[in-house]
Structure 1
Amino acid sequence: MPEQLFLVGNLGTMITYAAITVAVAVPVARAGQLRSNKLAVATALIFLTAAIGHGLHAFLAFRNLDRAEHSVPLFWVWALAWWNVVCGLAGAYYWTLRRRIIVNPGAIYVDPEAERCFAEAAAREQAARSTLEAVVEHTDDGIVGVTLDGVITAWNGGAERLFGYSAAEIIGRPAALLADPSGAREQRDVITRIMRGERGVYYESRRYAKDGTPVEAALTVAPIRDAAGRVTGISVVVRDITAAKEAAERQRAVEERTNQAQRMESLGRLAGGVAHDFNNILAIIVNYTDFAAEEAAGNPALEADLKHVRSAADRAINLTRQLLTFTRGDTIQPQDVDLNGAIAEVHAMLGRTIGEHINLMAVPSKEPVVVHADPGQIQQVLLNLAINARDAMPDGGTLVLEANAAELDGDELAMQPPLPAGRYARLLVSDTGEGMSAEVAERIFEPFYTTKPRGKGTGLGLSTVYGIVTEAGGSLNVYSELGVGTTFRIYLPMVVSPGRSPATALRQAPPPRGDGRTILVAEDEPALARVVTRILVNGGYHVLTATGGAEALSLFRQHGCDVLLTDVIMPEMSGRRVAEVIHESRPDLPVLYMSGYSNGLLGTTHVLDGDIAFIEKPFTAHDLLHKIAEVVRERATTPLR
C-alpha cells in the first residue's frame, strides 16, 4: 500500500510541476523572450527539473510494485542522485538571477523592454527633478515657502542673496522679520486673501535685508494645496525691482526735462514774436508822446498826463527787453567776469535798498571763479533772484549770495537744462523765506507764471534768469521747502585758469575705497536715498539706509556704524538731532551733513555750526566719496573735544 501512495503522490506532483512549467514557458515563448528573459526561463527550468525528478521517483516506485525484495538497481539510484544535483543547479541559477534583477512583488517574470522603458522614464523624472531643483536654487528671484501663520518653511539661494539670511538662519522665523510694521500688515492681508480662495496675488512693497538695506520688491504670492485641494501653505516669489524703479524714475525725470524744454522753447518763440512786434508799437507811442509833450509846453495839466503816458511806455519797454532776454533775442556783450566781484557789486547795491529787515550776506569763493558772460546780465540774474527772495521774506530773514566752483558728473536729475560732466562756476542765492511747493517749482521758469498778487509781478523775472543762464551755456537747480526757504544754484562754464589749488588737484584723484566701513544714511527722500546707497556701495562701503531720524536711531542701536551721513532737515527729527543722540553713546563717530540748502545759508541761520562737515545737494559720486574719506580721515587725526 505505501508503494502505491508514493507512486500516486509523485505522479501528481510531476503533473503539477509540468503544468507550472508550461504556464511559465508558453507566455515567455509567445512574447519572444526565451533568450532575453533569463529569470522566467530559470523559473521554468526549476519546475521542469522538479517534474522530471518526481517522474523518476514515480518510475522507481512503479518498478518496485512487482518485486518482492523491493530492491532498486544501482544505476537508477545514481541517475536520481545526479538529477537532484541538476535541480539544485537550476535553483542556484535562478537565485543568482533573482538577486541581480528587481522584480515587482507577485511577478513571475519580467519584461526587459518594459523594465528598460520604466528605467528610462524614472531617469527622466529624476533628471527633471534635479533640473527644477537647480533652477529654483540658482534663480536670481527669491523663492520662499510660508505657512498660513506666516512662518518661513523654505528659502532658496536667490532669497539668501537678496536678503543676506542663510536658510539655517531664517527657516522657522516669521516672514514679518523682513518687513516694517506696515509691510507686516500687508503680508497678513495677502495671506488672508489667499486663504479666502484667491489663486494668486501680485503686489510691490519694500522689504529689508539682514543689514537693514531697503529692497524694493515685487512679490507674487500663490497657495500651496494638498491632494484634497486644501490650502496648506503659501509660496512667494520675490524679485528685486530697485534698479528697475530707479531706471523708471530716471526715465520719468528725463521725460519731464524734455517736456519742460519743449514748453520753454514754444513759449520762447511766442514771447519773442510778441516782443518784437510790440516794440514797433512802443516806438510809435513813445515818439508821438514826445512830439505831443513838445507841443504841450506851457500846459501843466497836459504835460503831467503825457508824462504818465511816457512812464507807462518805459515800463512796457522794460518788459519787452526782458522778453527778448528770455528768448535770447537781445544783444549781449560777453567777456570774462569774476563772480566774486559780481556778488560784491550786487551786495553793495542791495545793501542800500533791500531793507533793514533782511540780513544780507555775501560768501565769495576761496579760489577765482571766472566765466565768459555779459556782466550786466550776471548782475541782472543776481538782482532778480535777490528781489524774489526779498519778496518771499515779508517779515524778515536771511539772504545769502555765494560763489564757488563745482564738479558735475552729467547725471544730475534736477538740472534745467542738463549739463555734461565737468567743472563749473556756481552762483548760489539762498533765502529763509516762505519756500515753494514741488508743483510751483516745476513752473517757475515759465514766462508770465507768477504766484504774486495781481499787479505785484509780471512773471518774467525767473524766465529772464533762465534765458540769460542758458544763453551763457549754463544751467539752474532749485531746492525749496515750504516754510523753510529756497536755494537757487546757477552753473556756468568756467574759464580755465592757469593753476588749481592743492585741494582741487586732490579732488581729481580717484576717491579711496571704503574697505567695508559701515555708513548709516538718513535721507527722507526715497529716490535720493537709493542713489546715495548705490554710490556708497560701489565705493566699497557697507550701507544702512533710513528714511527718517527715528529709523536711523533704531538701525544704529541694532547694527552700529562707522560714519553717519544725514540730511539736515527731515520731518519729525532733524539730522542734527540724530547726530546729537548718537554722539551720546559714540562721541567719536564722524558725521557728514547734506542738504539742498547752501552751507552759507545754514550757517547764518544757526541750523548748523560753521565747523561741521557738509556737502551740498546735488553732489556727484566723486565728490561724495571724497568728502566721506575726508571726514573719516579728519576724525581719525582730531582729538575729541
Structure 2
Amino acid sequence: MGRLSVGQVQRAGAVISAMKDDPVSEGISHPDQSSDAIEGCRFENDRQLLEAIFEASPECIKIVAPDGRLVRMNPSGLGMVEAEPGAEVEGTMVLSLIAPEFRDAWQANHERVCKGERLMWTFDIIGLRGTRRRMETHAVPIRLLDGQTGQLSITRDITVPRENELKAARLAAIIASSDDAIVSKTLDGIVTTWNAGAEKIFGYTADEIIGQPITRIIPSELHYEEEEILARIRRGLHIDHFETVRLAKDGRRIDVSVTISPMRDKSGNLIGASKVGRDITERKHAEGLQQLLIGELNHRVKNTLATVQSIANQTVHRAKSPSDFAASFGGRLQSLAKTHSLLTQSTWQGAELSELIRDQLPFGDSEDERITCSGPLVMLNAQAALHLSLVLHELATNAIKHGALSDRRGRLSIRWMVRTETERKLVLQWQERGGPTVTVPQSRGFGTTLIEKSLEAHGGVTSIRYEAEGVTCEVILPLPETETSIGGSYHRPPTEGPQGVKGLKSSQQPNTVAGKRILVVDDEPLIAMDMVASLEDEGCEIVGPATTLRRALTLVETEDIDAALLDANLAGDPVDELAAVLVRRGIPFAFVSGYGREGLPQAYQQMPLIRKPFPRQRLIDVVREMVIQDSIVVPFRKTT
C-alpha cells in the first residue's frame, strides 16, 4: 500500500472520529452530510486504510441494515458475541444478541439513527456461549449501496469498567455511611479525605481538616506513633489494628482501634495511606467496669473466706468439744450464708432490716407467736447488714439455748426506730421476757465480743443488761443521711504520691516480735479479732484495732507504733492518706487485703501484701520482717 496523504487519512477517519467526538445525539444528521466522507472511501488507498482500521480496531465496528440485520462486523465484534473467527454473521438479526430487557430500547434507537440521528446508548448483549456483557455504542447513519440508510456503530465492552464503577460507588456508599472514621492521607501525613464517620467521632468537618496534618487529632505525647506509622507505610507495610488514643475537636480523648493500609496508584507507586478508626471508648469503659467488678468480686470472696477463717479460729479456741465447735461454727456460717443470699437478691445494694431479722430468727415454716417485731423500713448497706446479721445470730442463739426462746412461755420483742436528732441512727431493742431466771455471766464469751466488735466497725455501740426476768440488749448504729445506702465498692487508688517504696527482704534475724506495738486497721471485725489474737499469742502489743480511716489516723499521730497492718480500703475509703502518713513517720507497714496488688494504692504497690484469707504464720512472718530494722530495703525511722 502506497504512502497516504494527510488529506486521505483525515477523510478515511472522518466517520469514526465524528462518532467518537460527538457521542450524544445533538440533532438530526441527514445521510448526505456524510457523503463526502463516503465518496472519499471509494479511492483505493482510502478503502485500504478503512479496511485496516476495520480489521485492527479493538472495538466492535458493525454496519446494520434498516431491518436490523447485520451487514458486516469486524473481528473484535465477532469476539464480543463469541462467534468463531471468520464466521459469517451477515444477515443475523442484531436483536437476537441483545438481552431481552434491552431489545425495545435498542430497536427504537436503531430506527432513530436510520432516520438521521446520531446517538449513544448502553445495553447488554448475550453472546453465543451465554456470556453477558455491558456495551456502549456510538451510532451514526450511513448510506448503504442499495440507497437505504442504515447504522454504522462503534461499540465497546464496558463490562469491566462498569463493574469497577459499581465497586467504587458501593465503596463510596460504605465510606459515606460508615460509623467508623475512614481517612486517607499523603506520605507526609496530610489529610486528603475525611468521611462522615470521622466527622462524627472527632468533631471536625471535612472542610476543616482536609489539607491539615493528621497530627491535629493526635495527642502530642503520641506523635512518635505517627512517625513510626509513616515509616512503615513508606516501606509498603500494612498495619493491623492497634489501640491508641486520639483527640476530638473539643479536647476529649477518645480510645480508638486503628487499621492502616498503604495506597498505590495504577502503576503501583505508593501515594499515601488509608486509615480506618473505630471509637472503642464505650468498649474500654465496659472493660474497665468488668475489671472493677471482677476486682470487687475477688475482694468480697476473699474477705468472706477470711471472715469464715476468723470465725473458725475464734470458735475453736472457745469450744468445749468437737461437737460444740461444729454446732457453733455451723450456725455462724449459716448466718453468713443467709445474709449473702438476701444481699444477692438486691445485687449487693443492701438489705432491709425486717427481712434480715426474719432470716436470723427461728420462725420455721410458720410464725412463732412468741416473737414480735415492729419498726419502720430501714435499708442497711451490704457490710452493715453482714455484721448486724452476726449480732442477731448471736443474740438468737443465746435466746434459744439459755434465754426466753428456750421456754414455751418465753417472749421475745424486737423493736427499732430511726432517730434524727443530730444524725440518723438506728436504735434497736432486743428484749426477752418469761424465760428462765437470768444471772450475770461469770466470763465473757466470744459471742459478746463478736457483737461489740461487729458494731464498733460501723461506729455503733451496744449495751446488754442481764435482768432477772430476761436479757435486754440495745443496739445503736449510725445510718447514712440518705434513706438507702449502697454497699462499699472497689476503689482504684489515684496515681499521685511518692514512688519507689520497696518491699521487704527475707529476715535472717531472731524469731521474735514480743513487745512490739502493732497497729491493726481493718473494717471487718472478725478478721481484726483473728489478727489481734494471733499477734497477742506472739507477745505483741496491739494498737487499735481501728475500723475507720479517721480512727487509724488518730492512732498513728498519738501512739507509739513499731509496724502497721492495713486493709486496702475501709468501707470504700482508700487508705492512701494513711499510708503516706506512715511513710512520713517512718513506720513500716504491710497490706492485708482481698485485692491483688492492682487494688492497692498505686504509690505503694510494692509494699508487703498479705492476701486474705491468710495462714497465721504468714501474718507473723511479715510482721517479724517489718520490725527487724536491718532487713528492710528502705529504712524506716521509728518515732520517738
TM, length-normalised to structure 1: 0.39
The answer to which structure has the higher helix fraction is 1
The answer to which structure has the higher strand fraction is 2
TM, length-normalised to structure 2: 0.39
